[in-house]
Structure 1
Amino acid sequence: MREVSQGRLNEILPKKRDLYYGGTWHVPLGGYSETFNPGTGESLGHCADANAVDVKAAVSAARKAFETWRYSKPLDRAAMLRKAAAILRENAEELALIDAQNCGNPVTEMAGDALHAAAQIEFFAGLVTEIKGETIPMGGGVTNMTLREPLGVCARIVAYNHPLMFCAGKFAAPIAAGNTVVMKAPPQAPLSAVRMMELLDGVFPPGVLNVITGGTPSGEALVSHPEIPMVTLIGSVPTGRAIARQAANQLKQVILELGGKNALIVYPDADLEQAIDGAVRGMNFAWCGQSCGSTSRVFVHDAVYDQVLAGILEKVKRYRPGIPTDRATTMGALVSRAHLDKVLGYIDVAKNEGAELVAGGSVPQTPELQNGFYVEPTVFANVTSEMRIAREEVFGPVLSVLKWHDEEKLFADVNNVEYGLTGAIFTKDLATAHRAASRIEAGFVWINRAGPHFLGAPYGGYKQSGIGREESIDELMAFTQIKNINITF
């Protein structure tokens, strides 16, 4: 069944709209804010808006829980994590429908998010016994060993493009390492996180997993709280810089997974069909390009430029904006009116700077979409690296296709942005692939594909795209600190 009834959509929305900490629900002192469906513009009701006092109470509950949780048995922690993963799998469909309503991405894309989150939780559950120390030779009569211990109360602030996947997947590593967590759900799309806690209530001891919702004040209160030694963010570069500045005041540790203006390079010897498919998939048109890893700059060798551009324009046709909860929809809505205006502004700037609009660029005129925040999948040709469209992160479904000939200039243009999150290379030549991979300033590089993450492979960026690595054992170890113990007999 493609259509989901409005009754069904209303039924699965969370009944609780408060803050969850210390193992129970709390009415927010900060009050409530309204949340919306970006696909229809309709209200989805109110959700808690935590203030600094609310945050202080949540952190206090997490700190109290940490005093016992830090000494819990690793395999007991793993068992609880696996139970949480199983619950998410069982409820994946309804969680996808909640996210589709609240963040605007198509339900068919959101269907995998709960499963990806469950896989991340299970991955870190399986690594609990790898949080090991070492013994260091010191000579006779002396033993020297190290221990890895948890940090304490960790705050994780996540983005709106994958609300459930981020909220669920990101609590796993710190909890596996023996920390307690305060998750801050995205203010634009908080409902799946609230529903998650309705489902997971009682899985962990009170105070181990806490979820707050709210805007910038609640995030600032978390970052500045003296009892939080670690703050992480999935978000924009400006927000990351603000967090880093505040964290520096108290020497907090940070993991920052920030924006990207990612390049995809097509060499003349590439499998062109594969490259064309990679360019379109890598742009993440399904969720309106609202992905920091999107390969939004496609550099095509001039010998194959016309052929690749024609192929991109043909494949882009598979993406048509539609109501996010309709299973036939291949491309959803932008998250808000303000963000729609920002994306449309970038499209105007690109046209004014001389880029050639060859696909999309407008708001769809379909009657049922008029109250939502939609824009057509957009492609610009004959883009140059000096244009803003090729330098600044749009975070929307806007793909720039650039022409290159000289490889040295290519690498200079690819790297001449402040970002360095991902990159993709399409070539049949192994030497070319290695050379290009070594020259691209990015933390995650694909060769002959673009887009997927691989659990266990570290994900993170260079330059202004972030600090730290996630989705791997590196993420787990980041939530520990090393203690050295020297024993003289």
Structure 2
Amino acid sequence: MVDYYDGTIEENHREAIERATTDRSFANWIDGESVAATTDETFETIDPAVTDPITAIPRSGEADVDKAVAAARDAIDGEWGDTTAAERSRLLQEWIETLREHADELALLESLDVGKPLGHAHGEIEKALEFLEYYAAVSRGQEGVQVPVSTDAHVYTRQEPYGVVGAIVPWNFPLVLASWKLGPALAAGNAVVLKPAEDSPLTATRVAQLSKDVFPDGVLNVVHGYGEEAGAPLAGHDGVDKLSFTGEDVTGEEVMRTAADSITPVTLELGGKSPFLVFPDADLDAAVETVAGGIFYNTGQSCDAPSRVLVHEDVHDEFVDRFVEAAEAHVIGDPLVEETTMGPLASQAQYEKVTGYVETGLDDGATLVAGGDRPAGDELEDGWFVEPTVFDDVDNEMRVAREEVFGPVETINTFSEYEEAITIANDTPYGLAAGVATENTDLAHRAAADLEAGSVWINTYGSTVTGGPFGGYKRSGIGRECGKDALEYYTQTKTVNVELGDTSL
């Protein structure tokens, strides 16, 4: 049961911060223990609902990354490197059980750090554990293959871990996105150095601490700090055998360039500008609910958010009216209160970025039909809150329609023919996801084939599930996560060829 708060926003967050941080250290976690940064410097992680500091976090540098990579290497060369898939599965399950016992604590940390409504944070912690459980289970099915070459040779393959995995995750879904990497990387037998975003470092630290006495020391390491000071050294480290990054596409470019110097294989899950196509036969009530849930959940801070709605001209006006009602029905407020459905943006930088795009949309001639401002009320004046915002009469060349806003900002475009809808939908440098609302199964399957996106949802949206590969086309990334195939991105294939000689006695 979610433990909600009932005071003023200041009282709630003061109490919650004390509860979450008392007798807790959020230092780096290296080789099975909490350690300060070698720089002896720290920075504060900020509660976005009240803009108060939560706790101090190490500001790590290259020397700290070196220590973490060395610890991971020692684990691979030691006990962890000798584990079987079955043993790793058992240890992962033991860790998951420990995490589930601390689910309330982890949800509160996630809510405070990012501004998520507490109920949503609870759901996301459970989702992260589901992904870890999935990889604990499918890891037992890892197997090589026998290649039928001839009667004179026995050829087979082995799947072997890379060794040390560097994992860099963003701030919008800190634990869920970490689980997408930790699950397959650990299940495959790698050791991990995890660099969480500086805006959301708390749950990564805590889950690593809770791995103590489950995994051997050095199997899971966490290094905090800013991207250029800790993330870049991890991405370019000669001791990292595989790199997995989730974040903005321009940062992904830098990660890929850096990894290229040592020819380190990379998995990249990057940005998106995902379209949702509403055809004239669609159930409009369901379509409105689906799109509103997709763009306003997590205050729009989702890489796969359906931030471009393309609506057929026959139902455009009706859709807009209903969608504005849905946007304005959201309850913006304290994330620790049960009634809240939308919290603040995660940081001041994100607040300034999103409000800047609202101004850009107005300047470019889009029609603002909902939101666009800070919500009313003195209680929210200190937090980074913004209203659900809807632009109509949007042209696909406008910046607000082409660039990733990463906030609760929806744009609405109109089309008249199927081919026009597909052309507009694909006219983007991204290709992470897309959605379709229609009752026509032929049209649904045709659109799913024609849309250039790694995931296409029909009459639903954003329901990423364990076992379903997730990743993007074009600038949205390289590789896939969430599915069984993700294990292959954390292993190397070795072919063994054994000559079979004369068997006569």
Report the TM-score range of the alignment, normalised by the length of the smaller protein: over 0.9
> Counterparts of 2:385 and 2:232 in 1: how far apart (Å)?
31
Residue 448, structure 1, aligned to residue 450, structure 2: no
- SS at the partner of 1:170? helix
Tell me the equivalent position of 2:77. 67
Kindly indicate whether the alpha-carbon contact (under 8 Å) linking 2:294 and 2:300 is maintained by their aligned counterparts in 1. no
Are 1:13 and 2:52 matched, yes or no?
no
Percent of aligned pairs with the same amino acid = 37
TM-score by length of 2: 0.94
Q: Read off the aligned partner of 1:21 and give its amino acid letter.
A: I
Query: Residue 154 of structure 1 contacts residue 174 of structure 1 at CA under 8 Å; is this kept in 2?
Result: yes
* 1:92 and 2:103 are equivalent in the alignment: yes
Q: Give unmatched runs, 5+ long, in structure 1.
A: none
Aligned with 2:453: secondary structure? coil
- Counterpart of 2:149 in structure 1 is 138
Alpha-carbon contact 1:35-1:45 (below 8 Å) kept: yes
Asked if structure 2 preserves the Cα contact closer than 8 Å seen for 1:259 and 1:464, the reply is yes
8 Å Cα contact 2:301/2:406 also seen in 1: yes
- What letter corresponds to residue 172 of structure 2 in structure 1? N
1:388-433 deviation digits (Å, cap 9, x = unpaired):
1111110000000111102222211111110000000111111111
Task: Give the distance between the partners of 1:43 and 1:84, measured in 2 at CA.
Answer: 30
5+ unaligned residues in a row in structure 2: which ranges?
7-11, 501-505
Amino acid at match of 2:237: H
2:210 matched to 1:165? no
- SS of corresponding position for 1:246: helix
**1:229 aligned residue:** 241
How far apart are residue 91 of structure 1 and its match?
1.5
For 1:452-463, what aligned pairs fall within 5 Å after superposition?
452-463=463-474
How many residues of Structure 1 are paired with residues of Structure 2 in the alignment?
488
> Is 2:180–2:481's contact at 8 Å kept on the other side of the alignment?
no
Please state if 1:324 is matched with 2:324: no
Question: Hey, what does 1:35 align to over in structure 2?
Answer: 45
C-alpha separation between the residues in 2 aligned to 1:39 and 1:170? 29
Once the two structures are superposed, the pairs formed by residues 338-357 of structure 1 within 5 Å of their partners are: 338-357=349-368
Work out whether 1:376 is the aligned partner of 2:394. no
State the match for 1:3 in structure 2. 5
* 1:202-223 alpha-carbon deviations (Å, 9 max, x no partner): 2100011111111111001101
- 1:95 Cα offset (Å): 1.0
Matches of 2:186 and 2:72, distance apart in 1:
11
Query: Where does residue 475 of structure 1 map in the other structure?
Result: 486
Confirm or deny: 8 A CA contact 1:223 1:246 kept in the other structure. Answer: yes
1:285-364 aligned within 5 A: 285-364=296-375
Larger displacement relative to structure 2 (405-414 or 163-172)? 163-172
Query: Aligned residue for 1:112?
Result: 123
1:264 aligns with 2:276: yes
2:9 is matched with which residue? Answer: none
| SS of the residue 2:112 aligns to | helix
Instruction: Report how far residue 169 of structure 1 moved.
Output: 4.3
- Give the structure 2 partner of residue 51 of structure 1: 61
- Per the TM alignment, residue 35 of structure 1 is displaced from its structure 2 partner at its CA by 1.1
Cα deviation 1:120-172 (Å, max 9, x = unaligned) = 11100111222211111222231111101000100110010111222344211
Residue 8 of structure 1 and its aligned partner are, at CA, apart by 4.4
Which aligned segments of 4 or more residues in structure 1 are displaced greater than 4 angstroms?
none
Aligned with 1:133: secondary structure?
A: coil
CA-atom RMSD in angstroms? 1.3
Matched residues in 2 for 1:176 and 1:237: separation?
28
Deviations 1:268-294 (A, max 9, x none): 0111111111111121x1311000010
* Partner secondary structure for residue 383 of structure 1: coil
Aligned pairs (5 A) from 1:188-267: 188-216=199-227, 217-267=229-279
Q: What is residue 437 of structure 1 aligned with on the other side?
A: 448
Amino acid at match of 2:268: L
**C-alpha contact 1:97 1:110 (8 A) present in aligned 2:** yes
CA distance in 2, matches of 1:13, 1:293: 32
Instruction: After TM superposition, give the deviation of residue 320 of structure 1 in Å.
Output: 2.6
* CA distance in structure 2 between the aligned counterparts of 1:12 and 1:345, rounded to whole angstroms: 33
Output one character per residue of 1:331-362: Cα deviation in whole Å (capped at 9) or x when no partner. 01111112111111110111111111010000
2:331–2:339 contact (8 Å) kept in structure 1: no
Distance (whole Å) between structure 1 residues aligned to residue 480 and residue 350 of structure 2: 28
Secondary structure of the structure 2 residue equivalent to 1:138: strand
| Most deviating of 190-199 and 338-347 | 190-199
Does the Cα contact within 8 Å between 2:21 and 2:55 map onto a contact in 1? no
Determine if contact 2:249/2:270 at 8 Å carries over to the other structure.
yes
CA distances 1:208-258 after superposition (whole Å, capped 9, x unpaired): 111111111100110111111211111100111110111111111111111
| Matching of residue 121 in structure 1 with residue 123 in structure 2 | no
Q: Distance in 1 between matches of 2:244 and 2:427?
A: 27
Structure 1 position 9, deviation (Å): 3.6
In structure 2, how many angstroms separate the alpha carbons of the residues matched to 1:354 and 1:293? 25
